[in-house]
């Protein structure tokens, strides 16, 4: 076998790193960085964040005894170097592929992943739980949490620090400050960290004092500690982290092994009672020039040419749903000064960066803080503004209490633009939009819509503009539309009205969302077999088009609902309507096609929907099975 790397070829687990002298660890880090670039160039994925923590990752596994010592990452997209060094090097080019490695930490994938992390701001809470468990079990294992500067803007991180700081439980938190999470970090914390970075004299003087003190008798150690406390207070004025009960160290250079190694070792061996905060400064995209120069530091990339940095572009000329949303909202905002956009650290992903270029004072990036985003939108709505909270379905889950109490109960007209609805491909189950239909359509006062294509999305945005007495949600998937001509911004939908697409006999399909395309493919295949079915674009999960559903139920022998969501959503509401109105007493056959009761791992979206049983072939089989079935869903007694 041809030797590719001088050191990395012999590294399979962290125990192998410990066999190396510390003097060669930077060379190992350089090799890890190159291997990561090689892998992501072939798979696509998250690049910039991982490049920034290569030295830190090597140093952590060198100093600490993982997996006995627990290393918790926040968020998971900076863990590709960690995966390379923890037994997954040979599989690194399967990242985010079907049956391959997850793009995030995953407990079932490796014992070196003690906690799954794909969303942000969970590391301190989970690590503190592990540290307390160690205390209760009288174990001496170290617990280390690595949290990014963007993730520490979320409220959960402060709740955790407040709790951990008040305890005497030892844990180590490493704040990875790269001046950037996915987009530029926002808010007061960004300015605060910048001020801390300007106080580099603090660290150098502190080390100088230690050097001086070490040359004298140990009897001066107590006074030295007091001098250090004085210096800490005099130069930085104390820190927020000190106030929360953390012993704060930093900021330090996160790419300098000569600095990282002794500080991590000292933290490991410290007898300090309570949590320690190590603030490191890193560069996102470090070591790859094209990433360093890019505005987003190559946060998320498609496959790319390593030599030129050029990413493979989509060959599709079809419009992306996120851009359709943004461009439609811009047209409305030109007419209506009350329209504003809100994003939780995802301006690029949601299209609000496009809106922001036209209306910079009317778009608000609140950081990784979905709870705040929703209640902030509610506050705007009380004053007559029309807030559009553009949030991925999976992230909106984090703000459910706020949706219920601050929006729904008060019937405030917040508009939720729910991106990434349904299965999302390479990001896997943690990013799938599986539950929003269910968790929103159960709430009184809500209007819940799903676009079957990009033209319907435009109509739903148009419709939402004038809904001023209650909250509205419209969902749409990741990716591109089907190539339809977009309607003008005056074309709207009657609230709660579905649309008859095909008219047939015996069986009707009520489709909610973008499975409509697969329904029509199935209908065409069935037509060739002499079976003509009815297909309806339901459009609304709430309010239901009760008149249309009643007509469909009385004119057909069987009804199937289909949606890109879990149980409890559109199909459940249709079923309840049929039961309550005794429509199932006439021996109507009814089935719901929904996402299965399991989390589906990352893969090509088409394959994921096939596995979920929501592709055209599965729909066709369901129709044939139901038409040939004598089983009827009877009304519960």
- Domain range list for the chain: 8-186+246-301, 321-475, 500-627
pLDDT tens-digit readout, 298-329: 787 888 889 888 888 777 789 999 999 999 99
Residue 552: both structure tokens together: 């469909």
User: Which pairing describes strands 70-74 and 172-177: parallel, antiparallel, or unpaired?
Assistant: unpaired
Helix (H) or strand (E) holding 255: none
Q: Choose the weakest-confidence range: 233-247, 257-271, 533-547.
A: 233-247
**Mean pLDDT of all residues belonging to the chain:** 89
* CATH code for the structural domain at 321-475: 3.40.50.970
Q: What pLDDT score does 250 carry?
A: 82
pLDDT tens-digit readout, 212-258: 444 434 444 444 444 445 444 434 434 788 888 999 988 899 999 99
Q: 353 in helix, strand or coil?
A: helix
Nearest to residue 464, comparing CAs of 398, 554, 573, 540? 540
pLDDT > 80? residue 62? yes
Is residue 546 part of the annotated active site? The answer reads no
Q: Can you tell me the distance from the alpha carbon of 224 to that of 26, in angstroms, rounded to the nearest whole number? A: 33
Q: Can you tell me the distance from the alpha carbon of 336 to that of 509, in angstroms, rounded to the nearest whole number? A: 38
Q: What is the CA radius of gyration of the chain?
A: 28
Q: Can you tell me the distance from the alpha carbon of 634 to that of 637, in angstroms, rounded to the nearest whole number? A: 9
Residue 105: both structure tokens together: 């930490």
Q: Can you tell me the distance from the alpha carbon of 17 to that of 58, in angstroms, rounded to the nearest whole number? A: 8
The alpha carbon dihedral of 605, 606, 609, 614 has a sign of positive
pLDDT tens-digit readout, 426-479: 999 999 999 999 999 999 999 999 999 999 999 999 999 999 999 999 999 999
Q: Which of 35, 370, 456, 564 is catalytic?
A: 370
Average pLDDT over residues 191-214: 46
Q: Cis (ω within 30 of 0) for the bond into 571?
A: no
Partners of residue 534 on adjacent β-strands: 508
Average pLDDT over residues 109-134: 93
What fold characterizes domain 500-627? Answer: Rossmann fold (3.40.50)
Q: Can you tell me the distance from the alpha carbon of 37 to that of 291, in angstroms, rounded to the nearest whole number? A: 10
Q: Can you tell me the distance from the alpha carbon of 217 to that of 491, in angstroms, rounded to the nearest whole number? A: 83
Asked if the domains at 8-186+246-301 and 500-627 fall in one CATH topology, the answer is: yes
- The CATH-assigned architecture of domain 8-186+246-301 is 3-Layer(aba) Sandwich (3.40)
Is residue 370 part of the annotated active site? The answer reads yes
Q: What pLDDT score does 2 carry?
A: 62
pLDDT tens-digit readout, 20-35: 999 999 999 999 999 9
Nearest to residue 8, comparing CAs of 27, 19, 22, 21? 27
Nearest to residue 429, comparing CAs of 141, 106, 165, 38? 106
pLDDT tens-digit readout, 386-409: 999 999 999 999 999 999 999 999
Cα torsion for 345, 179, 121, 139, to the nearest 10°?
170
Q: Which of 398, 415, 515, 622 is catalytic?
A: 398
Q: Can you tell me the distance from the alpha carbon of 431 to that of 422, in angstroms, rounded to the nearest whole number? A: 9
Q: Which residue matches tokens 């207070």?
A: 233
Average pLDDT over residues 285-299: 82
Q: What pLDDT score does 634 carry?
A: 41
pLDDT > 60? residue 94? yes
Bigger pLDDT: 266 or 190? 266
């Amino acid at each position: 076998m041809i030797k590719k790397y001088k050191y990395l070829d012999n590294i399979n687990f962290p125990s192998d790193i410990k066999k190396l002298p510390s003097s060669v660890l930077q060379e190992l880090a350089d090799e890890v960085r190159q291997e990561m670039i090689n892998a992501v160039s072939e798979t696509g994925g998250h690049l910039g964040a991982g490049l920034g923590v290569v030295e830190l990752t090597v140093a952590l596994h060198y100093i600490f005894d993982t997996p006995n010592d627990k290393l918790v990452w926040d968020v998971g997209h900076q863990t590709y170097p960690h995966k390379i060094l923890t037994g997954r090097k040979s599989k690194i080019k399967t990242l985010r592929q079907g049956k391959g490695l997850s793009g995030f930490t995953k407990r079932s994938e490796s014992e070196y992943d003690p906690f799954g992390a794909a969303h942000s701001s969970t590391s301190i809470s989970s690590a503190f739980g592990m540290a307390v468990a160690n205390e209760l079990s009288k174990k001496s294992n170290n617990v280390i949490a690595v949290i990014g500067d963007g993730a520490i803007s979320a409220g959960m991180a402060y709740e955790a620090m407040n709790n951990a700081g008040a305890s005497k439980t030892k844990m180590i938190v490493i704040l990875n400050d790269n001046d950037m999470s996915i987009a530029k970090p926002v808010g007061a914390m960004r300015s605060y960290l910048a001020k801390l970075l300007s106080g580099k004299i603090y660290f150098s003087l502190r080390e100088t004092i230690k050097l001086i003190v070490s040359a004298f008798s140990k009897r001066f150690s107590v006074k030295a500690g007091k001098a250090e406390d004085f210096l800490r207070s005099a130069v930085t004025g104390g820190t927020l982290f000190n106030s929360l009960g953390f012993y704060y160290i930093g900021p330090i250079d996160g790419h300098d092994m000569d600095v990282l190694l002794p500080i991590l070792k000292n933290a490991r061996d410290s007898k300090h009672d309570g949590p320690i905060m190590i603030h490191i400064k890193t560069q996102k995209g470090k070591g790859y020039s094209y990433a360093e120069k890019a505005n987003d530091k190559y946060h998320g990339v498609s496959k790319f040419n390593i030599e030129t940095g050029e990413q493979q572009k989509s060959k599709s000329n079809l419009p992306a749903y996120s851009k359709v949303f943004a461009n439609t909202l811009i047209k409305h905002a030109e007419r209506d000064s009350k329209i504003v956009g809100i994003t939780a650290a995802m301006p690029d992903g949601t299209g609000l960066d496009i809106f922001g270029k036209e209306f910079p004072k009317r778009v608000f990036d609140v950081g990784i803080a979905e709870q705040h985003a929703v209640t902030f939108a509610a506050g705007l709505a009380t004053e007559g503004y029309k807030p559009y909270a553009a949030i991925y379905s999976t992230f909106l889950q984090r703000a459910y209490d706020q949706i219920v109490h601050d929006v729904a109960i008060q019937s405030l007209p917040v508009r939720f633009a729910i991106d990434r609805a349904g299965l999302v491909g390479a990001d896997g189950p943690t990013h799938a939009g599986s539950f929003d239909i269910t968790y929103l359509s159960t709430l009184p006062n809500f209007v819940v819509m799903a676009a079957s294509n990009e033209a319907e999305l435009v109509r739903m945005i148009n419709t939402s503009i004038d809904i001023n007495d209650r909250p509205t949600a419209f969902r749409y998937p990741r990716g591109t539309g089907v190539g339809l001509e977009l309607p003008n911004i005056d074309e709207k939908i009657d609230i709660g009205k579905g649309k008859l697409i095909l008219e047939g006999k015996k069986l009707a399909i009520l489709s909610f969302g973008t499975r409509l395309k697969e329904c029509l493919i199935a209908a065409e295949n069935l037509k060739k077999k002499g079976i003509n079915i009815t297909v309806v674009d339901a459009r609304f999960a709430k309010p239901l088009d009760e008149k249309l559903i009643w007509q469909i139920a009385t004119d057909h022998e069987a009804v199937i609902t289909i949606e890109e969501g879990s149980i409890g959503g559109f199909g459940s509401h249709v079923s309840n309507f049929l039961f309550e109105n005794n429509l199932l007493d006439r021996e109507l056959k009814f089935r719901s096609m929904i996402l299965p009761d399991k989390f589906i791992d990352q893969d090509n979206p088409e394959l994921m929907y096939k596995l979920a049983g929501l592709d055209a072939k599965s729909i066709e089989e369901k129709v044939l099975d139901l038409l040939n079935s004598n089983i009827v869903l009877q009304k519960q007694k």
